[in-house]
């Protein structure tokens, strides 16, 4: 089954390009550490999901590019075309002349309705190219105006028009110390709307990815390109084909459906995060060797202590003793806080993946009381290596990891809202104080629900 | 891609405008190697087949034929505009986009606003509509004027109301040169206060500039050049003045260099909208992020490094120094010390070879020494444009919505009061049809209300940030 990607705004388009590039280069990578037959099946599966039939031999990404001003889309299209290996469809973009001005209300209430038909038509065309549709992958940022506002509007439309298909939104959480001054407003409006219309929110925090670039990838002058490439690596490690069941040799057919089934057991809890191990600069790969035991031990501790990368993990955090409630019924400020999970999925790729021991992830103490590990935890194993990492593991988890950042954003937005600063910019385009209050209410509920796991 | 129209009003406005167009042409010439009329160029220029008489000559794509500035030049005297039309830029301006008169406004806001306003309203509307028609997607009007005189101040602000009524969706960015305390126009306080009311009510964003600060910056650059310590040399085709001789004359006629600074600000402001970058910032984002309440739209600007304004060959200092300088009081374009006052919001627009990590590192570094209002502690708006200014590797424009504008307004009000108490020169204003004392009292109370807003914000400075009680949810 195929996934149609919708790239929205500057962030969405810049990331989207890196994602397709990573998926493509991995699937054509010569070092798969597996048999030729397996490799070919992997490539075919990846192609089915993300690329459509080539005319003159160049695969075309199954994507719709949307932005309210032309510069980024033009850049994205030409970068893809220049690579010569894959490209975007010539008519798969929708562009206007003037951006959304970092205004969620403008993106949602003005651009949305105005361009609804054109954008949905483009998406429809892309869907028709798929033999069968797994769902939509929508890439957007929360801080700006187009990705956030128009993204929320389009997701709602997708819910209405393609109610049988799944919607997963890839959301970029902005840097804590400001990229956009009204980012907190835009974020809460986006999150509250998406919570109602999206099936799962896959969240990446700029601060966390930035640290990975600095500490693990050893990049001195980090650019957005670097950040997006790390992000693309993480997404690739989740979305590339995996075997459908232990020991079988067919790749899963419904990537989004399988992810949702494993990770979103309850609609109140939709926020997912990814952690990868190992992550390192490409030129260090040849000199590293890992054992599954070592990798998984670190990954488990990253989960429990809510670490975003494999450096600086707090090994003091332990799961609560069975029978006792987790340490300190979560108040947001308490540290070190044990990260309770609702559901976890570990994806192993590479040599001897079938032999890795995952018992450590099945302890009931890791999970909330209303789910048994057998329901809450799953593992997918694939022989074929990802991007030349002889062994690599990805953890997609639905846990308390976002509580603190979410609480921070809600707090800041609330403080600003109390002073009524910038509100006139939103009411100008039809988003009223009531809409803000609705958003706050919904998000406080979500924070509370996650805290009470 | 959007277009902007520049409206230069009065002597000051036109002189700055002239510098701006000169700089813009050079910038685009440096970037646009192939001579193709691209979207970046179209933001400020039309491509016209000069052989076609009348209106039909616009060429939207392909090779550059003849570039015409998207500009309207207005002056009630002919001297300055005539000089422009005889100078090196004469072909850049469309002769149909001029409005001139001979008599001048006599440094009288009332003459500029009421007399010439009503006399030229139709003509002005016609020229504006014409320029708008030539735009595919008009986003912004840039108005350049001074506050202290008669035309720029009076007619320039009259324009704002016309623009607001006729083009309500188009942003109105005003670059206003405020009179320094040694200003030689006696009635400048009257003109400025009357103009302020219009700015507060009808402009989307105002960039106040003052001549004294510009002069100080030029002097500093001179010092850098003449100190010889750093082996500095002025580049042959300096952007500051057109010739080496003019360089020598600089101390006696510094206006060219000063106007160039303002022109640079306007160019940098629009660079991220015209050129590509990893984090774009369009003009509509400026207002969205920097104007938390409609009246508080006065933005203090600073442009660093200074040497980019003089085109001197000083080896680049540490990148981080550029960021530090942007917050120092010596680099602001009005007399203000943002570090000692309260920030409501701050935008950093970086050009050139600078990445997001450099930006973040510097924000983290400088944040502790700056005071932000309690509800906007993380009040930063950032942008990265890959194209640096001509001949340099990077530059930074900082726009701050900061209470440090207050002293400028207070001083203005004081100078006004001194004059007004004695009713000095008032009759020149009152004899104009439509003017009465009420205009003055209204204008001054509008300014006082604005000052009060800043006072109220200042009072919150230094208070601990309290986290307001949040909504409590029943789980």
Confidence of residue A128 (pLDDT cuts 50, 70, 90): very high
User: Which of A98, A421, A449 has the CB atom closest to B292's CB atom?
Assistant: A421
Q: Which of B387, B407, B427 is the last residue of a domain?
A: B407
**Which residues, in sequence order, are CB contacts of A423 under 8 Å at separation 6+?**
A417, A433, A436
Of B284, B291, B375, the CB nearest to A99: B284
Whether residue B78 is found in the same domain as residue B174: yes
pLDDT in tens, A273-299: 999 999 888 888 877 888 999 999 999
Mean residue pLDDT of chain B comes to 86
Name the minimum distance, in Å, from the CA of A416 to any CA of chain B. 5
How distant is the alpha carbon of residue B130 from its chain centre?
A: 23
Does B315 have pLDDT greater than 60?
no
Lowest mean pLDDT among A24-33, A243-252, A305-314, A335-344: A243-252
pLDDT, tens only, B226-270:
775 544 444 444 444 333 344 444 445 578 888 989 999 999 999
- Return d(Cα B258, Cα B216) in angstroms, integer: 9
Residues B224 and B300 in one domain: yes
Report the distance separating Cα A24 and Cα A21, nearest Å. Answer: 5
B284/A419 Cβ within 8 A: no
Q: Which residues pair with B385 in a beta bridge?
A: B351
pLDDT value, residue B238: 43
Q: Which single residue is written with the structure tokens 């735009």?
A: B135
Measured distance CA(B230)–CA(B233) in Å, rounded: 9
CB-CB under 8 Å, A448 with B473 = yes
pLDDT reported for residue A41: 86
Whole domain around residue B207: which residue ranges? 3-47+66-407
**Residue range B273-282: mean pLDDT, rounded:** 88
Q: What residues of chain A, 286 to 325, have a C-beta less than 8 Å from chain B? A: none
Looking at residue B472, the DSSP 8-state letter turns out to be P
The lowest-confidence range among A143-152, B12-21, B199-208, B299-308 is B299-308
Both B293 and B413 in one domain: the answer is no
Q: Is the pLDDT of residue A393 over 90?
A: yes
Q: Please tell me the predicted confidence (pLDDT) of residue B316.
A: 57
Tell me whether residue B359 is in a domain: yes
Q: Does any domain span residue B145? A: yes
Edge-to-edge strands, sheet with A377-382: A93-95, A63-67, A2-8, A133-141, A166-173, A200-205, A271-277, A391-399, A341-350, A377-382
B376 and B414 co-located in one domain:
no
pLDDT at A334 over 80: no
Angstrom distances, CA of residue B309 to CA of B176, B300, B395, B397? 19, 18, 10, 12
pLDDT of residue A349: 92
Give the residue from B407, B431, B451 where a domain finishes.
Answer: B407
Predicted confidence at residue B231, as pLDDT, reads 43
Does residue B77 have a pLDDT over 50?
A: yes
Give the pLDDT score at B462: 77
Half-sphere exposure of A141 (CA within 13 A, CB side): 25
**Per the domain annotation, does B233 fall within a domain?**
yes
Dist. CA B401–CA B410, nearest whole Å: 17
Residue A40: both structure tokens together: 């070919």
Mutate to test the interface with A, among B43, B169, B270, B292 (most CBs of A within 10 A): B292
- pLDDT score of A351: 86
Give the integer Cα–Cα distance in Å for B472 and A437.
12
**B42 close contact with A: CB closer than 8 A:** no
**Which member of A223, A412, A440 has the closest CB to residue B356?**
A223
What's the CA dihedral at B340, B341, B342, B345 to 10 degrees? -90
Q: What is the pLDDT of residues A397-415, one digit of tens each?
A: 999 999 999 999 999 999 9
**Residue A69 confidence (pLDDT):** 85
Task: Please check whether residue B437 touches A, CB under 8 A.
Answer: no
- Nearest chain B residue to A146 by CA distance is B285
Least confident range from A406-415, B44-53, B120-129, B244-253: namely: B244-253
**What's the CA angle centered on A149, arms A148 and A151, to 5 degrees?**
65
Q: Both B185 and B258 in a single domain? A: yes
Choice between B226 and B110, residue whose per-residue pLDDT is larger = B110
Give yes or no for a contact between A384 and A32, defined as CB atoms under 8 angstroms apart.
yes
Gap from A233 CA to chain B (nearest CA, Å): 19
Phi first, then psi: give them for residue A297, nearest 5 degrees: -60, -45
Mean pLDDT of B400-427: 93
A329 or B203, higher pLDDT: B203
Calculate ∠ Cα A11-A15-A18, nearest 5°: 155
Which of A178, A218, A408 should we substitute to test contact with B (largest number of B Cβ atoms within 10 Å)? A178
Whether residue B390 is found in the same domain as residue B444? no
Q: Measure the CA–CA gap between A119 and B79, rounded to whole angstroms.
A: 54
Residue B468 lies in a domain: no
- Partner A contacted by B320 (CB < 8 A): no
Candidates A75, A97, A452; nearest CB to B1:
A97
* Overall number of domains in chain B: 2
Which residues of chain B have a CB within 8 Å of the CB of A189?
none
B175 and B119, same structural domain?
A: yes
Residue B436 forms part of a structural domain: yes
The complex's ipTM works out to 0.88
Check whether residue B356 and residue B454 sit in a common domain.
Answer: no
- CA–CA separation, A235 and A276 (whole Å): 10
pLDDT beyond 70 at B173: yes
Question: Taking residues B413-434, what's their average pLDDT?
Answer: 92
Q: Sort out which chain B residues have CB atoms less than 8 A from A14's CB and list them.
A: 278
To test the contact with chain B by mutation, choose from A14, A79, A181 the residue with the greatest count of B C-beta atoms within 10 A, namely A181
Q: Are residues B362 and B300 in the same domain?
A: yes
Last residue of a domain, one of B365, B388, B407: B407
User: Any idea what the CATH number is for the domain that residue B72 is in?
Assistant: 3.40.50.1440
CA B137 to chain centre: 22
Residue B55 has pLDDT above 70, yes or no: no
Tell me the residues of chain B between 333 and 352 that have a Cβ less than 8 Å away from chain A. Answer: 344-345
Point out the least confidently predicted range of A213-222, B206-215, B234-243. Answer: B234-243
Nearest to B378 among A72, A177, A221 (CB): A177
Mean pLDDT of chain A: 90
Q: Name residue, tokens 């120092």.
A: B328
- Mutation test of the interface with chain B: which of A70, A71, A145, choosing the one with the most B Cβ atoms within 10 A? A71
Which positions in chain B touch A416 (Cβ < 8 Å)?
375-376
Contact between chains at A224 and B364 (C-beta distance less than 8 A): no
Q: What is the pLDDT of residues A356-381, one digit of tens each?
A: 989 989 988 899 888 888 889 999 98
B7 and B147 share a domain?
A: yes
> Which chain B residues in 224-283 lie under 8 Å from chain A, judged by CB atoms?
276, 278-280, 282
Q: Is pLDDT at A170 greater than 90 in this prediction?
A: yes
The verdict on B453 and B379 lying in the same domain is no
B291: in domain: yes
Count A/B contacts: CB-CB distance under 8 Å.
Answer: 142
Q: What percent of chain B has pLDDT over 70?
A: 91
Chain B residue whose CA is closest to A438: B471
Mean per-residue pLDDT, B104-121: 91
Rounded to whole angstroms, the Cα distance separating B304 from B285 reads 21
Find the helix or strand (DSSP H, E) in which B460 lies: none
The pLDDT assigned to B95 comes to 83
pLDDT of res. A328: 43
- Chain A interface includes B460 (CB < 8 A): no
The pTM of this model reads: 0.91
DSSP state of B71: E
Q: Which residues of B touch A452 (CB under 8 A)?
A: 475
**What domains, with CATH codes, occur in chain A?**
2-271 (3.40.50.1440), 282-318+338-400 (3.30.1330.20), 404-452 (no CATH)
Q: Do both B235 and B307 map to the same domain?
A: yes
The whole-number pLDDT of residue B89 equals: 87
B103 to chain A, any CB pair closer than 8 A? The answer is no
Read off the pLDDT band of A20 (50, 70, 90).
very high
- Give the mean model confidence (pLDDT) for residues A61-85: 92
């Amino acid at each position: 089954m195929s996934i149609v990607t919708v790239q929205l705004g500057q962030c969405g388009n810049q990331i989207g390009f890196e994602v397709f590039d990573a998926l493509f280069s991995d699937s054509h990578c010569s070092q798969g550490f597996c048999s030729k037959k397996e490799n070919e099946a992997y490539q075919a599966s990846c192609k089915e999901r993300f690329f459509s039939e080539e005319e003159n031999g160049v695969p075309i990404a199954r994507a719709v590019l949307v932005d309210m001003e032309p510069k980024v889309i033009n850049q994205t299209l030409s970068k893809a075309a220049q690579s010569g290996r894959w490209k975007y469809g010539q008519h798969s973009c929708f562009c206007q002349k003037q951006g959304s001005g970092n205004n969620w209300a403008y993106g949602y209430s003005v651009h949305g309705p105005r361009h609804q038909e054109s954008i949905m038509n483009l998406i429809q065309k892309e869907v028709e190219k798929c033999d069968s549709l797994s769902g939509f992958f929508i890439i957007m940022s929360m801080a700006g105006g187009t990705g956030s506002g128009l993204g929320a509007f389009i997701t709602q439309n997708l819910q209405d028009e393609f109610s049988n298909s799944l919607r997963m939104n890839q959301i970029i959480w902005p840097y804590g110390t400001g990229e956009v001054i009204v980012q907190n407003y835009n974020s809460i409006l986006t999150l509250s709307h998406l919570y109602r219309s999206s099936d799962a929110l896959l969240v990446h925090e700029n601060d966390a990815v930035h640290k990975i670039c600095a500490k693990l990838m050893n990049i001195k002058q980090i650019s957005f390109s670097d950040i997006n490439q790390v992000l693309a690596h993480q997404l690739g490690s989740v979305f590339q084909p995996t075997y459908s069941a232990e020991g079988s040799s067919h790749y899963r057919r419904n990537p989004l459906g399988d992810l949702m089934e494993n990770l979103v057991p309850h609609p109140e809890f939709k926020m997912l995060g990814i952690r990868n191990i190992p992550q390192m600069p490409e030129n260090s790969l040849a000199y590293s060797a890992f054992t599954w035991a070592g990798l998984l031990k670190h990954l488990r501790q990253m989960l429990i202590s809510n670490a975003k990368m494999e450096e600086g993990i707090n090994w003091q955090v332990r799961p609560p003793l069975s029978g006792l409630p987790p340490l300190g019924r979560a108040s947001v400020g308490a540290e070190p806080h044990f990260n309770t999970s609702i559901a976890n999925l570990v994806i192993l790729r590479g040599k001897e993946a079938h032999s890795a021991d995952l018992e450590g992830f099945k302890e009931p103490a890791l999970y909330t009381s209303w789910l048994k590990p057998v329901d809450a935890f799953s593992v997918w194993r694939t022989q074929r290596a990802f991007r030349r990492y002889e062994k690599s593991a990805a953890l997609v988890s639905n846990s308390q990891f976002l509580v603190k950042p979410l609480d921070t954003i809600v707090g800041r937005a609330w403080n600003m809202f109390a002073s009524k600063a910038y509100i006139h910019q939103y009411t100008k385009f039809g988003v009223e104080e009531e809409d803000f209050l609705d958003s706050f209410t919904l998000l406080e509920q979500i924070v509370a629900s996650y805290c009470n796991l | 891609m959007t277009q902007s129209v520049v409206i230069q009003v009065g002597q000051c406005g036109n002189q700055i405008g002239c510098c701006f167009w000169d700089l813009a042409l050079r910038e685009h010439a440096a970037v646009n190697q192939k001579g193709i009329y691209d979207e970046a160029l179209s933001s400020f220029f039309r491509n016209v087949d000069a052989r076609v008489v009348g209106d039909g000559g616009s060429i939207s794509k392909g090779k550059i034929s003849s570039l015409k500035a998207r500009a309207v030049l207005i002056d009630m005297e002919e001297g300055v505009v005539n000089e422009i039309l005889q100078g090196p830029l004469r072909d850049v301006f469309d002769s149909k986009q001029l409005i001139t008169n001979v008599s001048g406004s006599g440094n009288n806001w009332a003459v500029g606003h009421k007399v010439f306003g009503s006399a030229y309203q139709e003509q002005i509307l016609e020229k504006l509509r014409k320029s708008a028609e030539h735009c595919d997607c008009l986003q912004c009007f840039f108005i350049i004027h001074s506050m202290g005189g008669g035309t720029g101040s009076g007619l320039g602000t009259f324009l704002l109301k016309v623009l607001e009524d006729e083009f309500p969706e188009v942003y109105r960015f005003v670059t206003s040169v405020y009179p320094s305390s040694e200003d030689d126009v006696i009635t400048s306080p009257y003109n400025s206060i009357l103009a302020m009311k219009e700015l507060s009510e009808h402009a989307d964003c105002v960039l106040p500039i003052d001549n004294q600060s510009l002069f100080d910056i030029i002097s500093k650059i001179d010092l850098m050049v003449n100190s010889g310590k750093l082996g500095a040399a002025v580049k042959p085709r300096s952007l500051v003045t057109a010739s080496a001789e003019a360089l020598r004359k600089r101390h006696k006629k510094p206006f060219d260099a000063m106007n160039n600074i303002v022109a640079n600000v306007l160019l940098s402001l629009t660079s991220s909208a015209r050129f590509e970058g990893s984090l774009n910032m369009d003009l509509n984002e400026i207002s969205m992020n920097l104007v938390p309440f409609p009246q508080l739209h006065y933005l203090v600007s600073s442009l660093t490094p200074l040497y980019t304004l003089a085109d001197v060959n000083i080896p680049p200092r540490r990148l981080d120094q550029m960021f530090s300088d942007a917050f120092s009081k010596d680099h602001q374009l009005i007399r203000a010390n943002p570090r000692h006052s309260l920030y409501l919001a701050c935008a950093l627009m970086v050009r050139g070879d600078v990445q997001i990590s450099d930006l973040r590192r510097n924000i983290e570094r400088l944040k502790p020494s700056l005071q932000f209002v309690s509800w906007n502690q993380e009040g930063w708006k950032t942008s990265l444009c890959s194209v640096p200014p001509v001949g340099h590797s990077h530059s930074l424009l900082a726009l701050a919505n900061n209470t440090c504008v207050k002293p400028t307004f207070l001083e203005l009000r004081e100078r006004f009061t001194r004059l007004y108490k004695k009713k000095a020169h008032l009759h020149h204003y009152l004899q104009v049809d439509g003017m009465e004392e009420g205009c003055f009292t209204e204008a001054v109370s509008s300014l006082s209300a604005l000052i009060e807003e800043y006072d109220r914000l200042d009072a919150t400075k230094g208070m601990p940030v309290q986290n307001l009680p949040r909504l409590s949810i029943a789980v």
